Structure 1
Amino acid sequence: MRDIESVVEEIARFSGEHGLYEKRILVMFSGGKDSSLALHILKEADLNVSALTFFHRWSWRETLNWAMGFTKKLGVEHHLVDVTDGLLREAAGRKGPICINCKKVMLWNAKWFAINNGFDILAKGDNANDKIIGALLDQCEGDIRLCGLPRIGIPFFRPLIKYTAEDVEALAEEAGIRPYRMYEHSRRRQWREGCPLQYIDREEIVTEKLMDLAYRVNYEVSKIARKRKVRVSVRVPSFEVMCWDCDGETLREVGEIISKFGGDESGTSARKT
């Protein structure tokens, strides 16, 4: 495993070889560990880099505030774009999960934001564990870290794509990057948080009311999770509880929250992992 200094040096060398020092780079920055590390490395490599963060009315405000503080500390220009209306148009009336619709909205907006504001390259924090490895990146000619896909129309730079999720964890820790955590259950054991809309039940028809419910329930549950340092999320409208390392008392408190939103506290299914 390489240390953060050697990774920065490698990215600097790669950027010099590919003419990236003459380019304006826009990082799609969620405020999670991967995108934070990618932004940190590109800034340390002295590239001309800015950050772009999408949010909507169901986004966690705590993580957005942390992200704004992080870019301020780095001295990086940070653009914030509200995609609430576009997400509603794309997702409402379709079956869950909502994430694929959200990603489509964000990618489309990122492309046009970059083009309309004079950026040459979009950058992402994808790592070697992400599903993008394989079919999509097989279309790339040469090094997969810099890839121009015809359908997108703007090159993508993925400085972490050759590092595993475990490598990213270690590098971020070495760099002192510790994003704000909502203590979500997430879809993987590694810290990979997102937004509460990912907990809408599969095959459920997405509505604005259901999106509101996913946010409100999981925001209240996150307070319990943070207090007890466990990871909990609740699917809606089934009110299935998903948790890492929960004990009986935690589940009881979560059940009380669920009952306030119309769930059956005694009959709620719980998947304890």
Structure 2
Amino acid sequence: MIERAVEDIREFSEENGLYERRILVLFSGGKDSSLALYLLKEAGLDVSALTFFHRWSWRETLNWAMGFTKSLGVEHFLVDVTDGLLREAVGRKGPICINCKKVMLWNAKWFALNNGFDVLAKGDNANDKIIGALLDQCAGDIRLCDIPRIGIPFFRPLIKYTAEEVEALAEEAGIRPYRMYEHARRRQWREGCPLQYIDREETVTPELMDLAYGANYEISKLARRKKVRMSVRVPSFEIMCWDCDGEALSEAREVISRFMGGKE
């Protein structure tokens, strides 16, 4: 499967002049973006990685991402978006993922344009929702989109692969990202950052962001030890877990009791 995927990218890249362009991959360190980066590198494209992080990002996944790009011999840029995220998110209703994506998209655009990159690449697969997004403006093949509003083309080498196919390709390539054992918002491994667990309709504050990080960091350690997927919403302290038994839930309640401040 890997050989076929790499060959498909080579053929598409030759047809669309991508070998004459510098490509910057928006690289989270998750399975999709890791596979996209790996395939583009294997196809012989001029590719670099860009990772955004903020004060509440998981440091473990960032460390894994840095090791992965080093193993590929890929140039890797790290950009701290804490200040921009605070400006966009504080005072708004949670969760803040949409605000964070906005900050990252526009930072990616200007980083690419200011540093001589011609194309941005993403790890979107066929299961990702794209209706209503900027990338719906694609006039032709959805793998490569020229978006006037953004001002730089987007390349999505995995967009025609299902999530299951991406899993199989990543396994064949030996790509096994560090897991925080988050519950996530979908059954598939779709981890992100702890700020996604701020309760909906809750007004976001820096203190609430700190709470989301602290509580979920401790819960993730329990989840990893129990080999279950678990997260906690804040400030409601609702525990979410895949495959938890009574013992795991009891230990989780003990963990979050330290963050509840007397709340029952």
Question: Given that residues 197 and 215 in structure 1 are in contact (C-alpha distance below 8 angstroms), is that contact kept between their aligned partners in structure 2?
Answer: yes
Question: Given that residues 123 and 157 in structure 2 are in contact (C-alpha distance below 8 angstroms), is that contact kept between their aligned partners in structure 1?
Answer: yes
Q: Pick the aligned partner of 1:153 from 151, 158, 164.
A: 151
Q: Once structures 1 and 2 are overlaid, which stretch shifts more, 190-199 or 129-138?
A: 129-138
Structure-2 change in CA distance of 1:170 and 1:238 (3 Å): same
Return the alpha-carbon distance in structure 2 between the equivalents of residues 195 and 241 of structure 1. Answer: 16
Q: Pick the aligned partner of 1:73 from 66, 71, 74.
A: 71
Tell me the percent identity: 83
Instruction: State the 1:138 CA deviation.
Output: 3.9
Q: Pick the aligned partner of 2:23 from 22, 25, 29.
A: 25
Aligned to 1:220: 218
Instruction: State the 1:134 CA deviation.
Output: 6.6
- Aligned-pair RMSD on alpha carbons? 1.2
Structure-2 change in CA distance of 1:137 and 1:111 (3 Å): closer
Instruction: State the 1:128 CA deviation.
Output: 0.6
Return the alpha-carbon distance in structure 1 between the equivalents of residues 41 and 133 of structure 2. Answer: 30
Letter in 2 for 1:258: I
Return the alpha-carbon distance in structure 1 between the equivalents of residues 175 and 102 of structure 2. Answer: 28
Instruction: State the 1:137 CA deviation.
Output: 4.0
Aligned to 1:271: none
- Consecutive unaligned residues in structure 1, runs of 5 or more: 268-273
Letter in 2 for 1:171: L
Letter in 2 for 1:55: F
Instruction: State the 1:150 CA deviation.
Output: 1.4
What is the SS of the residue equivalent to 2:38? helix
Q: Pick the aligned partner of 1:199 from 184, 197, 200.
A: 197
| 1:190-242 deviation line (CA, Å, top 9, x unaligned) | 00000000000000000000000000000000000000100000000000000
Letter in 2 for 1:194: G
Return the alpha-carbon distance in structure 2 between the equivalents of residues 63 and 250 of structure 1. Answer: 24
What is the SS of the residue equivalent to 1:79? strand
Return the alpha-carbon distance in structure 1 between the equivalents of residues 84 and 168 of structure 2. Answer: 36
Q: Pick the aligned partner of 1:122 from 113, 120, 126.
A: 120
Instruction: State the 1:156 CA deviation.
Output: 0.1
Letter in 1 for 2:180: M
Letter in 2 for 1:90: E
Asked if 1:139 corresponds to 2:137, the answer is: yes
Structure-2 change in CA distance of 1:138 and 1:97 (3 Å): same
What is the SS of the residue equivalent to 1:151? coil
Structure-2 change in CA distance of 1:72 and 1:129 (3 Å): same
Aligned to 1:211: 209
Return the alpha-carbon distance in structure 2 between the equivalents of residues 13 and 134 of structure 1. Answer: 29
- Consecutive unaligned residues in structure 2, runs of 5 or more: none
Letter in 2 for 1:261: F
Aligned to 1:83: 81
Matched length: 264
Return the alpha-carbon distance in structure 2 between the equivalents of residues 254 and 264 of structure 1. Answer: 16
| 1:164-187 deviation line (CA, Å, top 9, x unaligned) | 111111110111000000000000
Q: Pick the aligned partner of 1:104 from 99, 102, 105.
A: 102
Taking the TM superposition and a 5 Å limit, the aligned residue runs for 1:177-256 are: 177-256=175-254
Question: Given that residues 197 and 234 in structure 2 are in contact (C-alpha distance below 8 angstroms), is that contact kept between their aligned partners in structure 1?
Answer: yes
Aligned to 1:37: 35
Structure-2 change in CA distance of 1:188 and 1:68 (3 Å): same
Return the alpha-carbon distance in structure 1 between the equivalents of residues 157 and 225 of structure 2. Answer: 35
Letter in 1 for 2:96: I
**Structure 1 length normalisation: TM-score?**
0.95
What is the SS of the residue equivalent to 1:232? strand
Taking the TM superposition and a 5 Å limit, the aligned residue runs for 1:158-177 are: 158-177=156-175
